[in-house]
Amino acid sequence: MGYLHEGHLSLVKKSKEKTDITVVSIFVNPAQFAPNEDLLKYPRDIKRDKQLLKSAGADYVFIPSVGEIYPEGFQTFVEVNKITRQLEGEFRPVHFRGVTTIVNILFNIVNPDFAFFGQKDAQQAAVIKRMVKDLKLGINIIVCPIIREQDGLAKSSRNIYLSPQERKDALVLSSSLKAAYLMIKAGKRNSGKIINKMKEIISGVVSSGIDYIKIVDEEKFEEAAKLTAGKKYYILIACRIGKTRLIDNILVNV
């Protein structure tokens, strides 16, 4: 959706490594924002984005208008059901319908062989993988690692909303994920106890307000009460720091 940072540019780099032609779309998608969300406030700087993409070696930049994507009379949406009802879907009910619709439209326009998404939006990537599989679109979905600041904060276009103190407070997200990782590597398998420790860390700053902390199976995105050796799990957080809603996660191989 633009206002690019190193996380976005890492997707371009991965595409350049793997493909012949790299197309980047920039579109702040109104269909994935509820009326009370930050569509109008969402940061935009197309001139800067173009310069960054040129430097990164992108071959084409596709920046459609809202009218091009959703012309008058538009009434068709793409929905993935089960996986979108939890986590982000619980707190943002219209979000994933907007995501799957716009991604499907962009896929139809560009007709790619590969599409690159960031792990920071792990549930989104899982939803898109399911859509591609179910609709037999024949596109390889590549999920690329989270890019972080030196102190551990996940790169996000929304980080600019944080005040200096909130920027410090936001480090509790990555700190809690690190604590969870260390607990699992030490042999802890009870999700409830791991999540309680994470809540304790995050609640240590007064600006925080947790939407959810969940541990889910990597493939099905189903909650896991107990972790099983040999399986992979996402540990996912959505948390408000002040008025800014941030998400973060890690993928753990138990």
Q: Are strands 244-253 and 23-25 parallel, antiparallel or unpaired?
A: unpaired
The answer to whether 5 is a known catalytic residue is no
**Per annotation, catalytic residue among 8, 120, 129, 245:** 8
Residues 133, 104: Cα–Cα separation, whole Å: 12
Residues 40, 201: Cα–Cα separation, whole Å: 32
Q: Which two tokens stand for residue 75?
A: 């009434």
Residues 156, 61: Cα–Cα separation, whole Å: 20
| Cα torsion through 10, 44, 157, 97, rounded to 10 | -90
Which amino acids are annotated catalytic? 8
